[in-house]
Amino acid sequence: MSVEGWNTVLVLGGIRSGKSEFAESLVTDAPVVRYVATAPEGDPEDTEWATRLAAHRARRPGSWTTEETSADPRRLADVLASAEPNETLLVDDLGGWVTVLLDPDHQPADDVATIAELADALRTCSARVVLVSPEVGLSLVPTTPLGRAFTDALGAANRAVADACDAVVLVVAGQPVWLKPVATPAAPAAATPNATAASAPAGTAAFAPAGTAAPVVPTLADAEDIPEVQLPDVLTHTPPVAPAQEPGNPWAAPTMALPMVATGLVIQPGMELPMPDEYAGPQAVDRLATLDVPGAGLGVLDRVVGFAAATQGTSTPQAWGSVRVLLLHGDHAGGGSAGAVAGESARRAAQARAGQGALARLAAENGASLQVVDVPASAAMEDEPALTLDQVESALRYGWRLAEQAADAGVRLLVLGACGAGTEAAAAAVLAATAGAEPPTVLGRVITDSGEIDDAAWMVRCAAVRDALHRTRRSSRGAKDILAELGGGDVAVATGVLLGATARRVPVLLDGPVGVAAGMVSRDLAGQARHWCLLADHGGHPAVRLAADVLGLTPLLDLRLDLGEGANALVALPLLRSVLALSAALPVHPSLGGGDEAPTGDEPASTEPSHLDASDTDPDGTEPDFAEPEPAGPGPASTGADDQPASGWRAG
């Protein structure tokens, strides 16, 4: 969806106000759209009316389906009642529906009862619905009985439908004015990002008028009413010196832990956060075509250069030096964790802390620091909300602080991963709520420890997601509500990390369902966050594929690795770094004005192959001296552990 935070919305507007185009823009990203046409065909000789209908039909994408209800006005309520949760309905418009309702062919009829039936069907509809209706209440009272009957009936219908909808917007001269926001943000004036975001409903920042103030990035401030929470230790592991290292020994101890910081940050829909440089990315990609390479260049990996250039604000981006891996650890109760081995996620987290396992070893090889973050356990989403709203607020702020801690430490790239029972089901529920996905299509197969496929556990997970969506079918689809009802602790903290990283201009390398689910939720809070995200590989996971398509993230590779969230991205990281280093170091081709790279020194370079045998000696008979080569760059520093104890997470 282009606008999040609502399940039903009424779009009002006058004639030629742009209301239909605006309504269509709200459902642009929906995977399944059914266009419900209410207007009759009209007089065949009325060419102007036929032209209007043809223009409406021409704007509809070919993937949309169309349903006509002009034959029976009461059928519109039946269409709404029978709509599926994965559908999005666009009803255009109620003016045509009232016209048919008042038609003598459908009289006698109880117009009031029919309008009430429509409002009741709208309240119980499980699909997302956008309704378009003319606003005729601002004009003069018609002079004819038929005109007065139409305006009275349409006014009554608009009032009933507006009362049943989550949100109402009035379009005037193409400009939307939200009359009934989903949620009115209540925040101190000092913490409000800007007036536009504070006065608009969730997700409407994209329609702010031109010329508004520059984005204001919220920062952390002390607040007495929020308890202090200790951030977890940051670990820097170094590769083992020899393969025969004794198992169980940690490679390194924690190197740093920031002091506790209390936060008064207000995270709310419509925040205005920084965007990457829109010019540096294309300039960097254009520059690649001028480099002195023997072949066609970097292929699809030129997107890495464009992304790094935009996020670094330069057309010659550098390889990411300091990298930090955030591993979010938290379990989900209920059927979503069916097939998971009890205690397995805790073992993986402890393994990472000790510098063992795939994630820690890959982090060490990449010189990346590792931070294992314990997030709050989530309740069974099919029975009750996964988190309370207070826990969601604390989790979002906690994730923001994790990103700020990394930025303050000079981190240039965050790698976001998660481990926990039920994380895939929670991510699937979030995708179903935000993108209209069917749970079975985004839930990956359940693989046992022995490598077998557990179809029974997969069906239990599907049922858990289905029941959770049914339980929340009338709940708001705002970002915080989705996190509380379905997402849980890991998705909430991950969302806070994305927002905090965006505020500090730190790119994030996503890996796995939790990260992309957080990306989907973050759209409602700050639409800029997705532009700071990079997806190295989809890993063959259906949820990641769908979310990447909705977020506009094209996976760079197709390795189908399944080493665990975070580890898959670290496998690709050396390749991405090499691409950036190469693009920054290569000169321009000589034919385009660049100079040839030649050996330095007074003597010309020899054309003979250079080699040295073990028997070669200096004239005095001694072995030749060879200087040690300069290192290519600083290796991962390893320092002693700080005196601060390891810490966990608790809700504020």
Query: In residues, how long is the chain?
Result: 652
565 is catalytic: yes
* Closest C-alpha to 227, from 270, 263, 276, 267: 263
The H or E element containing residue 124 is helix 111-124
Backbone angles phi, psi at 268, to 5 degrees: -145, 165
Rounded Cα gap, residues 412 and 570, in angstroms = 15
| Cβ partners under 8 Å of residue 119, min gap 6 | 160, 161, 163, 164
Q: What's the helix, strand, coil split of the chain in %, to 5?
A: 40, 10, 50
End-to-end CA distance of the chain: 31
Partners of 177 in beta bridges: 170
Residue type, 208: A
Q: Which of 565, 608, 623, 630 is catalytic?
A: 565
* Closest C-alpha to 167, from 138, 196, 128: 128
- Cα angle, residue 39 at apex, residues 36 and 43 outer, rounded to 5°: 145
CB-CB contact of 212 with 285 (8 Å): no
Rounded Cα gap, residues 396 and 261, in angstroms = 14
Strands 533-535, 508-510: pairing kind: parallel
Name the packing angle between helices 145-164 and 111-124 (round to 10°). 20
For every residue of 227-294, DSSP letters joined together read ---PPPPEEE----SSTTPPTT--S--EEE-PPP--------TT-------TTHHHHHHHHHTTB--S
Rounded Cα gap, residues 270 and 5, in angstroms = 11
* Closest C-alpha to 367, from 236, 513, 508: 236
Q: What sign does the dihedral 362-368-373-378 (CA atoms) show?
A: negative
Q: What separation in angstroms does the CA of 196 have from each of 13, 211, 272?
A: 21, 11, 9
Q: What separation in angstroms does the CA of 481 have from each of 403, 473, 475, 476, 546?
A: 23, 12, 8, 6, 21
Instruction: Kindly state the DSSP code that residue 319 receives in the 8-state scheme.
Output: P
CB-CB contact of 300 with 556 (8 Å): yes
The H or E element containing residue 430 is helix 423-435
- Cα angle, residue 430 at apex, residues 215 and 233 outer, rounded to 5°: 70
Where does 436-566 have alpha helices with state H? 439-442, 455-471, 479-482, 488-503, 513-525, 542-551
| Cβ partners under 8 Å of residue 474, min gap 6 | 7, 123, 124
Taking the CB of residue 227, how many other CB atoms lie within 10 A of it? 12
- Active-site residues, by number, are 565
